[in-house]
Structure 1
Amino acid sequence: MLGFVVWLSSCKVYTKHSLVNKRRLSSKGVKQNVCFWLGHYVDVPSPVFFSVWERRRVRKYCVTGKSSTYSQKEQEQYPHRRLKNYGGLGGKYDTRQYPAKSLCSHCGLCDTRFIHYVKDSCAFLNQHISELEYTVHGKSRDLEVENELYFGVHLNMIAARRKQPLPGAQWSGIVTSIATRLLETGKVQGIVCVRNDEQDRFQPKPVLATTPEEIYASRVNKPTLSPNLSVLDTVEASGFTRIGVIGVGCQVEALRSVQSKLGLEKLYVLGTPCVDNVTRKGLDKFLRTTSTSPDTVVHYEFMQDFRVHFKHDDKVVGGPGKQWTETVPFFGLKTNELKDIFAPSCLSCFDYVNSLADLVVGYMGAPFGWQWIVVRNEIGMEMLDLVSSQIETMPLSSSGNRLQAVQNSIPAYDKGMTLPMWIAQLLGVVIDKLGPKGLEYARFSIDSHFTRNYLYMKRNFPNILQRHVPEYARRIIEQYKLPKE
């Protein structure tokens, strides 16, 4: 009977938390699994676990899923640990209907016991970026300073790129390099990141990466909605006290709201700017409407030269592995056919620049071919210092005037105007030469999306418009004349 219980416990730990490698179970592993069910703290021998635990000794708190495992004090401090009824099981926490409903960005929080805090933490139920900025960075953005109004609290902004780009990286591999160095230097025990599903290169698969190889396998942005926070239960069960998280604005806002409930000693948040994600079905429509070879696209990005850059690789369909790039001008997109592919959460988001991350790595404020890096606080500076020898940097610049370009784009998008491709190509060349560049291009992109999203909220969710749009976004939107209803 005892043997059956031990076997059952090892299976449950493996399938639910992916922490124990059943193929490596030894007598020490069996002993550990007995401890797991008794709810003790144990020193875990490295052979029991995946390679991250090799040469390490990890103190793991074993969670049996029974409320009796926790003391009354722990249950009061972490009430989410008492939850059993969540994750689509029916009842109060039935996640077949997410609390944010049609505005849900599927960040993954509601797929964990941390759904207990969703009312206060979800970016689409309780927009409170300013308060969280103060908590995370020690101050809220100064709305009278243009760079803070647009880009949030920061200590520094620079352009950077790796001296030796990482093979297979979307750009030069700065995000991957920072995450890897965090792990290699022991600053973290694991990194929450997103891999591609084995069966679908565009289907995101959140993981708690514990080796450099796992982090490297997570390189390249995923353009579809991704439940990054769905691994928070795994993080808690791991017993890790120092972790890193790579995420976008809505995920980071929810994470910051529950950060104190994770029992962490240190949290490093590496963010990327995010706009216009799509569902998996919407992605198929976008690729087939826009690219000449949708089946070979491995990633794409809307870039500073006013073009969409598609990276292709023939090997994704069994070819010789030829890599090539395709560009399509913004003005040649079939807007009238594509307006419905973007997720409602993205059309109601006002945190393009990921205000609550410690360090943000994107592209829109930097020259073409460089990355835009925003250091928001001391933790962000600590992360950037880890790769200082691997990157070259230069100051940011700003030129041109975005205001008229944004004003003209508002009715064009609103009416779904699409230009013939030859005109779009010509217009793209002209605007690339004469249009806004550097930080002015970043402000152009923010203005364009904020005005569009404000109109979307006003038309579709007027009852929550006032409380959902942050003050900094209102000030940006007030610069423009919006269409009358």
Structure 2
Amino acid sequence: MTAASSTPSGATAGSATPPHERARPLAKGSVYPAKDLCSQCGLCDSRWVAYVRRACAFLSQNFEAMEATAHGRSRRLDDEDELYFGVQQRMLSARLQQPIAGAQWTGIVSRIGVRALETGLVDAVLCVGQSPDDRFTPVPVLARTPEQVLAARVNKPTLSPNLEVLEQLPGSGIQRLLAIGVGCQIQALRAVQSTLPLEQLYVLGLPCVDNVSREGLQTFLESASRSPETVVHYEFMQDFRIHFRHSDGSEETVPFFGLDTPKLKDVFAPSCLSCFDYTNAGADLVVGYMGASFGRQWITVRNPRGQVLLDLVEPELDTAPVTSRGDRRAAVQQGIDAYDKALKLPRWLAELVGFLVQRVGPQGLEYGRFSIDSHFTRNALWLRRHHPEMAERHIPAFARRIVERYRLPSP
């Protein structure tokens, strides 16, 4: 992208001063425009709050226009892979040949950030560190050194105001930026991209569902883990188990089907319960795990900038084609009904179900579709029940096509 023009889109007629130069962040503690649906992405905590009405994913979203602007075209809805996973040039699975110590998986995201700085591709990397007082309290940073990028490794599964650091860009000397973020953050970032004082922006996206507030995270950890105070990170993985890593290096796994659904049903943030950007449609490159076999990461290149980012690390990767096995549909329909009724299985039965599903259930891309179907149907139902006035205009066309394949309970 090019630097902002003197009168970027959004400036008032007859004014040479764009809105973000006249605006000021909302005061901390304010009621943000999206109200209960706010994902706390941080845009309102910067002077770019002036664009929030068209930038916020929960006030106004237009996936087709965002994809066309970012990638040169929108996704093809008649292509099953693009319907689910978005615009793409390549999909592959990978792992670092030499994993980064302490990284959540092998550390592909962190290695890309490090290489982007070392090669001079960018001047800074927008990533998320942690509070010195709490490992799960996110602290967004504009990392200028590889050491700062590595210090931010490991996901923080809590709402994070990443875009508040846009406030630091003017006068910083940063001309080329790599932004790492989740879907709601990237939708807002794309909406204001043309007004940023940057020569080039690269976007590395993370697939994302079911973030929580810090209080909600504590409820989840106390409900699911044997030692919530020592959890370093966790992830819902392709073997249908939640993997917790503890500070002593030990790992704990819990079957999805053993969660205390009645207690946890409403612990996730309303923004996440109304989101349909699981696969981060606006990112140049997406790195996650949802479409890969267990132990590997799933990578989607959406455009040439995404390939530039992947080129930084591809020689260091063990790569393989994506694969797909199984049929998700019956499991998704059963999950819809079980979640709606807030069923809780006894631990022995949850272990048995998990054992069977792991061996005969969906794997690879089919697991990714299972996860997308499960969350899209749940979120569509949640929206229709809690925000019926906005539900249909908020659910994008690709999500509607997916949701219509299933039988949902009455709103």
TM-score (norm 2): 0.95
Q: Does 1:82 align with 2:30?
A: no
| Number of the residue aligned with 1:481 | 407
Deviations, residues 158-190 of structure 1 (Å, cap 9, x unaligned): 000000110000000000000111111111101
Listed as ranges, the matches of 1:170-319 within 5 Å are 170-313=104-247
Deviations, residues 78-111 of structure 1 (Å, cap 9, x unaligned): 2211224x3318xxxxx60100000000000000
Q: Which of residues 125, 133, 142 is equivalent to 2:76?
A: 142
Distance 2:18 2:266 in 1: 40
Letter in 1 for 2:108: I
Distance 1:386 1:279 in 2: 34
> Which secondary structure does the structure 1 equivalent of 2:389 belong to?
helix
| Number of the residue aligned with 1:31 | none
Distance 1:293 1:74 in 2: 61
Distance 1:384 1:377 in 2: 11
| Number of the residue aligned with 1:62 | none
Distance 1:82 1:238 in 2: 19
Q: Does 1:374 align with 2:300?
A: yes
Distance 1:364 1:137 in 2: 22
Question: Cα distance, 1:264 vs. partner?
Answer: 1.5
Distance 1:335 1:395 in 2: 35
Listed as ranges, the matches of 1:352-363 within 5 Å are 352-363=278-289
Listed as ranges, the matches of 1:397-476 within 5 Å are 397-476=323-402
Q: Does 1:130 align with 2:73?
A: no
Asked if the contact 2:36/2:270 (under 8 Å) is kept, the reply is yes
Letter in 2 for 1:230: E
Larger radius of gyration: 1
Asked if the contact 1:366/1:396 (under 8 Å) is kept, the reply is yes
Question: Cα distance, 1:75 vs. partner?
Answer: 6.4
Q: Which of residues 375, 386, 402 is equivalent to 2:312?
A: 386
> Which secondary structure does the structure 2 equivalent of 1:449 belong to?
helix
4+ aligned runs moved over 6 Å, structure 1: 72-75
Distance 1:329 1:163 in 2: 29
Distance 2:391 2:78 in 1: 23
| Number of the residue aligned with 1:155 | 89
Percent same amino acid at aligned positions? Answer: 58
Distance 1:348 1:307 in 2: 24
Distance 1:199 1:412 in 2: 38
Q: 1:75 to 1:211 in 2, by over 3 A?
A: farther
Distance 1:363 1:131 in 2: 27
Deviations, residues 414-469 of structure 1 (Å, cap 9, x unaligned): 11101000010011010000000000000000000000000000000010112100
Name the one with the larger helix percent. Answer: 1
Asked if the contact 1:127/1:467 (under 8 Å) is kept, the reply is no
Q: Which of residues 276, 291, 304 is equivalent to 1:350?
A: 276
> Which secondary structure does the structure 1 equivalent of 2:250 belong to?
strand
Tell me the number of residue pairs that the alignment of Structure 1 and Structure 2 aligns. Answer: 400
> Which secondary structure does the structure 1 equivalent of 2:314 belong to?
coil
Deviations, residues 391-418 of structure 1 (Å, cap 9, x unaligned): 1100011010001110110010011101
Deviations, residues 368-390 of structure 1 (Å, cap 9, x unaligned): 00000000000000000010121
Letter in 2 for 1:425: E
Distance 1:245 1:403 in 2: 35
Q: 1:295 to 1:353 in 2, by over 3 A?
A: same
User: Which runs of 5 or more residues in structure 1 are unaligned?
Assistant: 1-71, 90-94, 314-321
TM-score (norm 1): 0.81
Letter in 2 for 1:80: H
Asked if the contact 2:67/2:74 (under 8 Å) is kept, the reply is yes
Distance 1:463 1:239 in 2: 45
The structure, 1 or 2, with the larger RCO (C-alpha pairs under 8 Å, 6+ apart) is 2
Question: Cα distance, 1:236 vs. partner?
Answer: 2.6
Letter in 1 for 2:400: R
Letter in 2 for 1:294: P
Distance 1:285 1:422 in 2: 23
Q: Which of residues 97, 101, 108 is equivalent to 1:167?
A: 101
Cα root mean square deviation, aligned:
1.4
Letter in 2 for 1:165: P
Distance 1:335 1:419 in 2: 9
Asked if the contact 2:169/2:197 (under 8 Å) is kept, the reply is no
Question: Cα distance, 1:150 vs. partner?
Answer: 0.3
Deviations, residues 329-383 of structure 1 (Å, cap 9, x unaligned): 0000000000121000000000000000000000010010000000000000000
Distance 1:139 1:411 in 2: 36
Asked if the contact 1:181/1:387 (under 8 Å) is kept, the reply is yes
Distance 1:74 1:353 in 2: 40
Distance 1:310 1:152 in 2: 29
